[in-house]
Structure 1
């Protein structure tokens, strides 16, 4: 399962001291608005070859032959893995939007708009962007030192059903932090308590309008999203910053589908996707 860095509500670990001395925690219990946790475990393994001098002889020749065979096999597997990854990258839907079809009956995703952040061979990860709550961020997160004032009125949004102890800041502007992760042109994810503090205390209307505090995420195992797409559970669309930040959540799903030239109420209803 793919996961992005997030603000961890459940971790008891200390925050990253290089970022700031701000510590934030829910007011109940001892849970800490934890450190930036980079849990991406992505990378490629390449075959490496080294030349070693040995005395000549039949046993050495046999050993050398076996080593060359193993090296060729290793190199072949490495190339295959690389080609698989490159092919997956070419067909990746991220960054993009997933729009739930009307027959989606799962309450976590019915009429949902999902910002697909990562889509790779071993899984996919996204954030639901049209599920606001009535809870204010400042009412559930306590900073040390305390906020001087909440001038933003920033709300908590439900980003998905997975790991709801973890939260992200989805931003429509570059926060200027090293940990900020570009998702799409003009879209960033941050796990910085300092950025959150600045938004809440600053109350800049433009920045507040383009900030989402999202709890949880949507995750798919390898091949799962592809199966759901084959079952016509989702429509796909390009990322739209205007849709995410400047369209009311209540009409975002319908607006996104209509932007494709499709009447959402004319879509054929199936037996349901769970």
Structure 2
């Protein structure tokens, strides 16, 4: 029997050799990783022209009292499905706690709670997710696609989306400006 590690609560950082251009410079907050596969929310790219207030209005929720934060492109799977990554000071219907780092919710009650001022103190809104079947992520991690880093709630919620990739590498002790595509040979 092999000793398998699961990485929920970590960041997956796309390496410059990433073949799938949908994940170029991606930071994926890994929320679920077990023997059945993995699910994460990409947190490094804002969706142009879509705001949180727009999203709330589409559900007939009054968002006039909330900051109009950008909505993130959470991944290529189910791009119309919404997710909220949030601090652990809120727990509601179907909330999944990701270690002691953050929560993941996908139901309307969190949107209503945020709009009414009783939601989590920190949150990110995303449409879509990144998903991997059983063993798929482990296989990708052996190649030149992903760098695994410790998840950091402060970096997740405080760093601007466009800076998260470099900031997450920096937190892991890596200067992202020195990364190059492809492995060398000797």
In 2 relative to 1, CA 118–170 (structure 1 residues): closer, same or farther, beyond 3 Å? Answer: same
User: Does 2:36 match 1:122?
Assistant: yes
User: For 1:223 and 1:188, how far apart are their aligned partners in 2?
Assistant: 24
Q: Which has the higher contact order (CA 8 A, sep 6+)?
A: 2
User: For 1:118 and 1:176, how far apart are their aligned partners in 2?
Assistant: 17
User: Does 2:137 match 1:225?
Assistant: yes
Which consecutive aligned stretches of 4+ in structure 1 deviate over 6 angstroms post-superposition? Answer: none
Select the structure of larger CA radius of gyration: 1
- Report the alpha carbon displacement of residue 110 of structure 1 after superposing the two structures with TM: 0.5
- Indicate the residue corresponding to 1:189 in structure 2: 104
User: For 1:227 and 1:115, how far apart are their aligned partners in 2?
Assistant: 18
User: Does 2:151 match 1:239?
Assistant: yes
Q: TM-score, normalised by structure 1?
A: 0.59
Q: TM-score, normalised by structure 2?
A: 0.85
User: For 1:128 and 1:151, how far apart are their aligned partners in 2?
Assistant: 23
SS in 2 for 1:257: helix
- Report the alpha carbon displacement of residue 186 of structure 1 after superposing the two structures with TM: 3.9
User: Does 2:79 match 1:164?
Assistant: yes
In 2 relative to 1, CA 232–173 (structure 1 residues): closer, same or farther, beyond 3 Å? Answer: same
SS in 1 for 2:166: helix
User: For 1:201 and 1:136, how far apart are their aligned partners in 2?
Assistant: 17
User: For 1:185 and 1:163, how far apart are their aligned partners in 2?
Assistant: 27
In 2 relative to 1, CA 227–202 (structure 1 residues): closer, same or farther, beyond 3 Å? Answer: same
Could you tell me whether the CA contact under 8 Å between 1:115 and 1:126 is conserved in 2? yes
User: For 1:260 and 1:196, how far apart are their aligned partners in 2?
Assistant: 32
User: For 2:85 and 2:63, how far apart are their aligned partners in 1?
Assistant: 23
Q: Which 10-residue stretch deviates more, 185-194 or 123-132?
A: 185-194
Aligned residues: 181
* Residue 269 of structure 1, aligned match among 176, 181, 186: 181
What's the RMSD between the two structures over aligned residues?
2.4
User: Does 2:110 match 1:198?
Assistant: no
User: For 1:167 and 1:251, how far apart are their aligned partners in 2?
Assistant: 22
- Report the alpha carbon displacement of residue 148 of structure 1 after superposing the two structures with TM: 6.8
Could you tell me whether the CA contact under 8 Å between 1:228 and 1:234 is conserved in 2? yes
User: Does 2:58 match 1:142?
Assistant: yes
- Indicate the residue corresponding to 1:3 in structure 2: none
User: For 1:261 and 1:187, how far apart are their aligned partners in 2?
Assistant: 22
SS in 1 for 2:21: coil
* Unaligned 5+ runs, structure 1: 1-82
* Unaligned 5+ runs, structure 2: none
User: For 1:155 and 1:111, how far apart are their aligned partners in 2?
Assistant: 18
Higher helix share: 1
- Indicate the residue corresponding to 1:131 in structure 2: 45
Higher strand share: 2
SS in 2 for 1:108: helix
